[in-house]
Amino acid sequence: MSLEHRRITHPALAAALLLAACAGTATETEQTTPAPPATTQTTAAPETTTTLPPPPTTTIVIPDPMPIDPPEGYELVWSDEFDGDTIDLSNWTYDIGGWGWGNGEAQYYTERPGNARVENGLLVIEGREEQYEESFYTSARMLTQGIQEFQYGYIEARIKVPGGKGTWPAFWMLGSNFGREDLEDPSLAEWPTVGEIDIMEYTGKEPDLVLGTIHGPGYAGAGGLTTWNRLDFPVEDAFHTFAIDWDEEGIRWFFDGEQYAEKTPDSLFGREWVFDQPFFIILNTALGGTLGGFISPDLQFPVYMYVDHVRVYQRTDADQ
């Protein structure tokens, strides 16, 4: 996919995203939370601030390698182990901009090495407190849109999330129709019709909580179907593996190999199940926003999201 970023050309889409966090209602047994809005690539305005020094080298204990171990009946079909010196642009591109992304987020997403880079076998997404364009914070949002897209599979990432009140890292997916201009029905390219799977959302204001959510037509924004995975330790203190097992029957969420949630078409009570199409992968760290909340004056910048790997396994039988 070309790295040229596109401006938003559909005002109705932008308006829909801004309203999405207030739309819909969840089922009685579900918790609700707004989710990162659908991604739209935009063209970065010319930089108006002073040129930054080279990014600092982060210091972190590198985790022991995690062997590639497919679930029974699965095989590895794609991965990024981040073992090189640079981000592999045959796997990833970037969202650029600081318009709030439908959630009132405070950061400006860039493609600078200061915000996204590979170091010591890890992808580093760095959130900074700095004035950049119209924002006072920067970060990165990376996606495989138009490059690597998948329908069904066991999809996992090993991540160390940033902590502190105001941080909002996520590992999630959007339907690959998002933003397409060649569809006969343009609404099929819009969020939430395309569908969204939040494999992991985390906020530093609740350090023991991991969220797994789906969004679609009639169950988007605050009405997304969410399961809370409350733990007895701060998630930010170590690397953890976040995953889904997704097939024709539904989606199941895993934390460090233990299932904690499941959604099926029956979970929607007649609403449309849109998770029967290819999706692409997104990694990002937002700051503030409807879910991230108030950015604490005590939050120590920079903040780091470390990703050891992203892997996709799919069934070996001919039907997958």
CA distance 236 to 299: 14
Identify the burial level of 121 via C-beta atoms within 10 angstroms of its C-beta, where 0-12 means exposed, 13-18 middle and 19 or more buried.
middle
Q: Using DSSP, state whether 233 is helix, strand or coil.
A: coil
The residue among 263, 258, 283 whose CA lies nearest residue 274 is 263
Instruction: Say which residues have a Cβ less than 8 Å from residue 86's Cβ, sequence separation at least 6.
Output: 117, 118
**Residue 72 annotated among the catalytic residues of the structure:** no
CA distance 5 to 139: 17
Residue whose structure tokens are 């062997």:
67
Q: Considering 133, 201, 258, 262, which one is annotated as catalytic?
A: 201
**Residue 196 annotated among the catalytic residues of the structure:** yes
CA distance 319 to 153: 12
Residue whose structure tokens are 């995953």:
243
Q: Considering 30, 111, 190, 196, which one is annotated as catalytic?
A: 196
E strand intervals along the chain: 74-80, 93-95, 107-109, 116-119, 122-132, 135-139, 141-143, 149-150, 153-160, 167-175, 196-201, 209-215, 225-230, 240-247, 250-255, 258-263, 279-287, 303-315
- Which pairing describes strands 135-139 and 141-143: parallel, antiparallel, or unpaired? unpaired
The residue among 317, 311, 318 whose CA lies nearest residue 77 is 311
CA distance 207 to 239: 14
The residue among 210, 195, 199 whose CA lies nearest residue 276 is 195
Contact (CB, 8 A) for 124 and 60: no
CA distance 140 to 307: 13
Positions marked active-site? 196, 201
